[in-house]
Amino acid sequence: LRWQWRQRIRLYLEGTGINPTPVDLHEQQLSQEQHSRAHINERFQDQRSDISGPHLLPVRALNEVFIGESLSSRYAVCSVLFRENCKSCKPSFKFSLHRASYYEISVDDGPWEKQKSSGLNVCTGTGSKAWSYNINKVAHQAVEEILKIAKKHGSLNVPLNTELVQKVTNDYNESLLYSPEEPKMFFSIREPIVNRVFSSSRQRGFSSKVCVRSRCWDACMVVDGGTSFEFNDGAIASIMIDTEDALCTVLLEE
């Protein structure tokens, strides 16, 4: 066996109307509506909601931090009136409206960038094998199609076969993983929306610090899938790693 120091993420919250009191998702198993109500109740019960920050949150993320709207899509009901043989009926139709997460992000104290996406994931080396990996991994089919296009344009002078495609796919996907002991984070912009207003100059990458300014309506910052903090318009989160937070674990070697 050997000791392994797993790095963890610490979080600072500041801004207007923040609420540093978390909701425990494991204990309560709340629906989306109950989740929002729980945050509202905590806000009124805790006088610390007036803090402008920066406030160090009382939790550390061993795997990941996810920021995004509580409800990525919602249903609206549309009623249409039909008349036939003097009889009226009112059938209802449901259609989905996508609610993207709107925020501003700064990586390693760089310039702020307005973004819209399905959310932001920031992970440690421990968490790089989980959700982060599945957000960013590429499929064998996608790599094969890209290599075919490169070969078509004369940029690829090696024979294109299954072995090459598999090797390129594996090499890229393995580059998304790193040691839990490394004091760095990996951020991923999930399904970014790019247009004249919103950009995404870096959709993923390693960093030592990520700052996020919320422009969301009903968003949360969730730590390791179990602890949720309200993160709405005006709140600013600073996400970083401090080696003092490392967790000492034991690896049982075969």
Q: Please give the chain's pLDDT, 254 residues, in tens.
A: 889 999 999 999 999 878 888 888 876 555 555 545 555 555 544 544 455 668 999 999 999 999 999 875 444 444 444 455 555 555 554 444 557 899 999 999 999 999 999 999 999 999 999 999 999 999 999 999 999 999 888 878 888 899 999 999 999 999 999 999 999 999 999 999 998 888 888 999 999 999 999 999 899 999 999 999 999 999 999 999 999 999 999 988 77
Spatial separation of the C-alpha atoms in residues 138 and 89, rounded to whole Å:
49
Given the structure tokens 């989905």, which residue do they identify? 96
CATH of the domain at 112: 2.60.200.30
Spatial separation of the C-alpha atoms in residues 39 and 21, rounded to whole Å:
8
Residues 7, 65 within the same domain: yes
Residues 12, 73 within the same domain: yes
Structure tokens at 63: 């795997």
Of 179, 207, 240, the residue that ends a domain is: 179
Print the domain residue range for 152.
135-179
Q: What angle do CA 209, 61, 225 make, to 5 degrees?
A: 120
